[in-house]
Structure 1
Amino acid sequence: MSDALKFSKIFSNSAFAIENIQPYYFRATSTPLPEDISLITHITVASWPQLERLAENWQAPISATLHIQSKSSPLSPDIADILRDLGTKYRSNIAMSSHVDIHLYFSPPASSPSLALAHNVDRNLARLFARTEFICDVPAGIIPATRIRNTLRTNQKSFTPRLRDGDVMVVPLFTFIEHAAKHSAVPRTKASLLSLVSKGIIGLDDKHWELGNGPTNFERWRNSETLYAVKDYEVHYEPIVIQSRNAQPWCPERFADNEAACLFASYLNGADFWVLPDDFMIQLEPKRGNDLSNFESVIQNRLYAKSHGEMCVHFARQLDSLGLWDTPKAKNAIAQCSRVISSWGKGLIGKPE
């Protein structure tokens, strides 16, 4: 049975061109241990060098979606030339050929960027084909600065049950205030990182918050020596997290590129967010601008805002049907969705009359 036929049956309700997905177009020669961590990411032809840098820094499993958008068919000569060139680069880079699985997703040009740049779809594909139990969604312009796999291995007895139960481990992300730092200047220890923070060279980057602010709580992280829970979760919070490949809901694919929606689903499903005290990642590239038009950004933002109530109801009903409503698993849904739940039966979203 061809991949296209398999996907058409498995994902019969998908709105995307699943017949143009080729999993493991390039397959790594190393077989990862099941309990290892795979980085999952998505790239285009233009961002291939970022994936090479990520692989060289990680030296461990990566599952990447290569999204190619073209008016030509996947079998056309121009696309074949591009893939042949990438194949040469892939095989000549030991870190890539040893550790990186690349899944080809070919899509025709779309009338709107939100359809063309459906990165939540890319995320789900990379996760679907990851070959380890634990995954970490990392944009290709970011690199792990510390030995995160060693942290998971050392704390396996305490971390693994939490991850399998649906919790996530937050890896703090830091970005250079002026993106002039060279690769050799990347801090590799917490002490060296804090030194750069004190000099105003680098700062904690919670997207949607000013540097140094946000739910990850830099002041607490600075002084912490143990795992701690995020206390001020907010629906736009989208940190880098380690999670179970099998325990989390899938990213909602109606959003163009919204990892906050993926993590909001995890939160409503009962996940606690635990911050690693000594590990971190570094944003090497300047932040990418918004690929959407102003109009599409407004539509996407409104769609996400309107989805909060719907997602609350969905997960509340699911938890109740599983007999988990009166357990700690439902605490996040109860806290986040109390206004929605209180209006059930009245056709309202918000405070009941």
Structure 2
Amino acid sequence: MEGRLGPCTRAQSQSAFRPSDAPPGLQLLPKGRGRLPGIFPNRAASLKGPGGRGAARGRESDAPKRPPLIGSSLTCPSRRKNPLHFHLVTDTMARNILEMLFHTWMVPAVRVSFYDAEELKPQVSWIPNKHYSGLYGLMKLVLPATLPPDLARVIVLDTDVTFASDIAELWALFAHFSDKQVIGLVENQSDWYLGNLWRNHRPWPALGRGFNTGVILLRLDRLRQAGWEQMWKLTATRELLTLPATSLADQDIFNAVIKEHPRLVQPLPCVWNVQLSDHTLAERCYSEASDLKVIHWNSPKKLRVKNKHVDHFRNLYLTFLEYDGNLLRRELFGCPSPPPPGAEQVQRALAQLDEEDACFEFRQQQLTVHRVHVTFLPHEPPPPQPHDVTLVAQLSMDRLQMLEALCRHWPGPMSLALYLTDAEAQQFLRFVEASAVLSARQNVAYHVVYREGPLYPVNQLRNVALAQALTPYVFLSDIDFLPAYSLYDYLRWAWGGRERNAPSLSSVPCPILFHRYHEWPQGHAPTDYARWREAQTPYRVQWAADYEPYVVVPRDCPRYDPRFVGFGWNKVAHIVELDAQEYELLVLPEAFAIHLPHAPSLDISRFRSSPTYRDCLQALKDEFHQDLSRHYGAAALKYLTGWG
């Protein structure tokens, strides 16, 4: 990643990201793979927090192969007063996660550039590497050739580091470089390169204890002038004549180059890379330091590393992790900078709202851009199957207990959106890790939408989960419904048979309806339960007012209307949209789900008790009717007359 940093003046803030005339910037470049495990949740990257489980690099230990992640902890938001530009080397999956994160978090004075890891692999694939990060662990070597040629300086970070200070202080250390120095590194805080950790241990050559590459200052301009690409390749080729492979990926090759060319390195103070490895000697550093700057969780055990002071370091990490991430959006101090994309439009719309309007909180909630962290935990996408179905649902913290039962009933892929605070997200992570059922499932994708505002954004949550589904079809369910044990296999069979037996209808989306008995009969009456109990084959039904079945549809179906927040008509409006687009409505004879009892939500309690709440919901319905009329014309008349 890269981030730009410079003196904080209004004139310069407009050109802070233009290398030609801007002051030197902070370049942050963490290395990692697109499979993102558990930093501050497993499997995604964020501006908050380092590695929990299996983050990008685990030094000095034979660790099981785990997918590293991209993204590292930066700094407390109140301390950063400089713009940042992140350069991220990712695969396609990681880019999807990170683009959504940066787009929705709307952090001011932050830019992001992406580079395709697949294009870099051939440049390092010839190097044998025992490190579990695989080829991704070698990609730092090619950064000088990969990054824009006018980029002169970068900070390169492992993704398992936590900043406990302003990263601008690290950038300032470039001023200490001599004319010949091109790389800034902290000494390795273990005996790894001394070769005495175990019998017959033969590390790569290094200068003294060697250097740790978890935090690097790179003078890219000087590296290019010095012929860096030829330099590291010649060194690696020579060492590989007598050594079978790298053990610590890029770090071995950096150290071998520095051993041969010691003038290239500028040693950095140890506090800028306090290494908590399995064989760490870092206490020699922090016992004498008054202020730690960067904590490096470079053991494969990450937060679970055995260290007598680990509780202190873990608390530094967790404290920041549970802060309200919305604080990152508020630039109260620092450089004036252009707002994030979309922020000005949102602010203008919010400014036009009347705070005296009885429905103000409904209007405000509709305009809220929630922070989103898709694929929050490790996830294995399902292999392509022509009729596969993903269960799509949303939930909040008070429904977590439903997840284990749901996983037992539905063995197929799921895409679930969770509405959580930052602190609750960490509780959820611990909940999954403690559950044998949940932790064993790799085909369940969890997407965290961070809580903001008083009303539950139910349709926004559904849309997040729906957008991340990867199979041809989706089962649009709710978290309180347990599908029949056989439902997943039955649906795949039913869709396959339907396409074979009715090719003339293959161009028409055909949702399949589900059923539940409920105290609100009009919501499910068209399903005709008496007929369903006797049915042997699928049968058509017609739309009726307030109909809200649970459906299976193609993945590219219309999205839910996000204006409906809280309780009421959120799903009904979606069924209206499906019918307006001429979806054929079929009921399957052997498909069902069971609705489990649960306590009423806060929103339904407000709906029942507050006339104002019901009036606001009616206003949203009226607006929805008007939009239907504008979009579908005369075809929408039946919804205006049939839906009170």
1:169 and 2:490 are equivalent in the alignment: no
Is the CA contact 1:43–1:51 (under 8 Å) kept in the aligned structure 2? no
Alignment of 1:130-209 (within 5 A): 130-155=469-494, 156-159=496-499, 165-173=508-516, 204-205=517-518, 208-209=520-521
Aligned length: 277
Question: For each residue in 1:25-70, what CA deviation from the matched residue of structure 2 results, as whole angstroms up to 9, or x when unmatched?
Answer: 013336243431111111112211102211111111110001114x
Give the direction of change, closer, same or farther, for the CA distance of 1:50–1:94 in structure 2 (3 Å limit).
Answer: closer
1:118 aligns with 2:457: yes
Which residue in 1 is equivalent to 2:449? 105
The alpha carbon displacement at 1:149 in A equals 2.9
1:238 deviation in Å? 0.6
What's the CA shift for 1:291?
4.5
Instruction: Say if 2:371 is the partner of 1:274.
Output: no
Aligned to 1:21: 372
Contact 1:64 1:103 in 2 (8 A): yes
- Corresponding position of 1:250: 559
Aligned to 2:398: 46
2:627 is the counterpart of 1:288: no
Of 518, 530, 536, the match for 1:225 = 536
Alpha-carbon distance in 2 for matches of 1:2, 1:153: 32
Distance 2:401 2:547 in 1: 28
Q: Separation in 1 of the partners of 2:439 and 2:412?
A: 8
* Cα distance per residue 1:249-288 (max 9 Å; x no partner): 1110000151111111111111121011121111122473
CA contact (8 A) 2:411 2:488 kept: no
In structure 1, C-alpha distance between the alignment counterparts of 2:458 and 2:592, rounded to whole Å: 23
Q: Residue 89 of structure 1 is aligned with which of 415, 434, 454?
A: 434
The structure with higher relative contact order (CA 8 Å, sep 6+) is: 1
SS in 2 for 1:225: coil
Question: 2:138 — aligned with what?
Answer: none
What is the distance in 2 between the residues matched to 1:260 and 1:95? 34
Following TM superposition, by how much is the alpha carbon of 1:301 offset from its aligned partner in structure 2, in angstroms?
3.2
The 1-side partners of 2:640 and 2:621 are apart by 18
Q: Match of 1:105, as an amino acid?
A: V
2:618 to 285, 301, 305: 301
Q: Which has the greater radius of gyration?
A: 2
Deviation at 1:130, TM superposition (A): 1.0
1:107 deviation in Å?
2.1
Q: What residue identity is the alignment partner of 2:592? A: F
The CA deviation string for residues 180-203 of structure 1, in whole angstroms up to 9 with x for no partner, is xxxxxxxxxxxxxxxxxxxxxxxx
- For 1:82 and 1:216, the matched residues in 2 are separated by 40
Q: Distance in 2 between matches of 1:33 and 1:210?
A: 38
Please tell me the residue identity of whatever aligns with 2:379: A
1:221 to partner: Cα distance: 1.2
Contact kept, 8 Å, 1:32 with 1:131, in 2: the verdict is no
TM-score of the superposition, structure 1-length normalised? 0.69
- Secondary structure of the 1:243 match is strand
Task: Return the alpha-carbon distance in structure 2 between the equivalents of residues 48 and 101 of structure 1.
Answer: 14
State the SS of the aligned residue for 1:46.
Answer: helix
3-state secondary structure, aligned to 2:449: strand
How far apart are residue 312 of structure 1 and its match?
A: 3.4
Is 1:240 the equivalent of 2:550?
A: yes
Q: Structure 1: state its 5+ residue gaps.
A: 174-203, 318-332, 341-353
The AA in structure 2 aligned to 1:236 is D
Counterpart contact for 1:268–1:312, Cα < 8 Å: no
RMSD: 3.1
Using the TM superposition, name which of 220-229 and 92-101 deviates more. Answer: 92-101
Q: Match of 1:220, SS?
A: helix
Looking at structure 1, the residues matched to 417 and 489 of structure 2 have their Cα atoms a distance apart, in angstroms, of: 26
For 2:417, give the aligned amino acid: T
Structure 2 gap ranges (5+): 1-97, 107-340, 347-365
